Amino acid sequence: MTDRKPADVPVHTWVDRLIREAEERGAFDNLPGAGKPLPGLDRPLDEDWWIRQKLRSEDLPTDGLLPPALQLRRELAALPETVRDLSDEDAVRAAVREVNARVAAWIRTPSGPVLPVAPADVDAVVAQWRAGREAAAPGSPPEDGTTPRPGDRRPWWRRRRRSPRRSE
């Protein structure tokens, strides 16, 4: 729109005139998608279609659309996998405390549908974390595929440099 609407011309007349002039200039020729059907026209009407489309185009997770109680339930269910790779017990306890703080905040002032959500038992999660660490530690070969020899007291970085053809 390059010029202002005259005061004595109704809006719809002025807009129609601008569109007609643009058509005469060929501004609408060769637009992408010209002559193609509109995407999603055959699907049922969904009032949140634009939100879902934006999430798909931005490749964002749809968990943000869930009510807070369901989001918390998912976090609590995924807690063992979340803490599995943490290095020490303090980090595991801190992660569980963080989730429990969000649960407590939601319990104080619930929003959305009210569903039962209980905080995670810190000691149970730590015990499960320990059991997973102990099951993976003894008897399992190192991740690089080499097995340490009984008389080998070299640091791990020197052991990795050793050629696999060399035998002692």
Angle, CA 97 vertex, CA 93 and CA 103 arms, to 5°: 150
State the pLDDT at residue 160: 53
Higher pLDDT: 30 or 150? It is: 30
pLDDT higher than threshold 90 for residue 165: no
Residue 70 has what pLDDT? 93
| Count of CB atoms situated within 10 Å of the CB of 70 | 15
C-alpha–C-alpha distance, residues 134 and 128, integer Å: 10
What pLDDT does 168 receive? 47
User: Phi/psi of residue 10, each to 5°?
Assistant: -65, 155
Which amino acid, 98?
E
pLDDT given at position 64: 78
Do residues 122 and 101 lie in contact, with contact meaning Cβ atoms separated by under 8 Å? no
Q: Considering only CA atoms, which of 96, 99, 76, 73 is closest in space to residue 86? A: 96
Burial class (CB in 10 A: 0-12, 13-18, 19+), 71: middle
pLDDT value of residue 105: 95
Tell me the per-residue pLDDT of 27-84, one tens digit each, with 9 for 90 and over: 988 888 888 888 778 888 788 888 888 888 999 888 878 899 999 999 999 999 999 9
Task: Give the pLDDT of residue 53.
Answer: 84
Q: Considering only CA atoms, which of 147, 103, 95 is closest in space to residue 122?
A: 95
The token pair at 24 is 């005469």
Domain ranges of the chain: 11-58, 63-134
Pick the more confident residue, 32 or 155. Answer: 32
pLDDT at 7: 85
CA dist 49 and 65 (Å) reads 12
The structure's pTM equals 0.54
Q: Is the pLDDT of residue 130 over 70?
A: yes
Closest to 80 (Cα-Cα) out of 71, 92, 72: 92
